[in-house]
Amino acid sequence: QNQPHAVLVTGSTSGIGLAIAHCFGRAGHHVMLHGLADAETASMLLDEFSGYSGGAGFSSADIASEAGCAQLVEETREAIGNPSVLINNAGIQFTAPAHEFPADKWQQILAINLSSAFFLSRDLLPAMRAASWGRIINIASVHGLVASEHKAAYCAAKHGLIGLTKVVALENADAGITANAICPGWVETPLIQPQIEKIAREQQVDLDAARALLVGAKQPLAKTTNPEAIAELALYLCGNFAGTITGAALPVDGGWSAQ
Binding residues vs ligand NAD (CB under 6 A): 11-17, 35-36, 62-64, 89-92, 112-113, 139, 141, 184, 186-187, 189-192
Q: Least CB distance from residue 154 to ligand NAD, whole Å? A: 7
In sequence order, what DSSP letters do the residues of 169-219 get, joined into one string? HHHTGGGTEEEEEEEES-B-SGGGHHHHHHHHHHHT--HHHHHHHHHHTT-
- Paired with 9 in beta bridges are 87
State which residue, 91 or 254, has the beta carbon closest to ligand NAD: 91
Catalytic residue, chosen from 58, 154, 186, 256, is 154
Closest by CA to 62, choosing from 4, 108, 131, is 108
Q: Answer whether 227's CB lies under 8 Å from 16's CB.
A: yes
> Chain-centre distance of CA 70, in angstroms?
18
Q: Least CB distance from residue 28 to ligand NAD, whole Å? A: 23
Q: Least CB distance from residue 256 to ligand NAD, whole Å? A: 10
Q: Least CB distance from residue 121 to ligand NAD, whole Å? A: 15
Q: Least CB distance from residue 88 to ligand NAD, whole Å? A: 8
Gap between the Cα atoms of 28 and 253, Å rounded: 28
State which residue, 118 or 133, has the beta carbon closest to ligand NAD: 118
State which residue, 141 or 180, has the beta carbon closest to ligand NAD: 141
State which residue, 64 or 169, has the beta carbon closest to ligand NAD: 64
Gap between the Cα atoms of 13 and 43, Å rounded: 11
> b/e string for 77-109 if b means 16 or more Cβ within 10 A?
bebbebbbbbbbbbbbbbbeeeeebeeebbeeb
State which residue, 112 or 169, has the beta carbon closest to ligand NAD: 112
Torsions phi, psi for 82 (to 5 deg): -70, 120
Residue 236 appears among annotated catalytic residues: no
Catalytic positions, please? 154
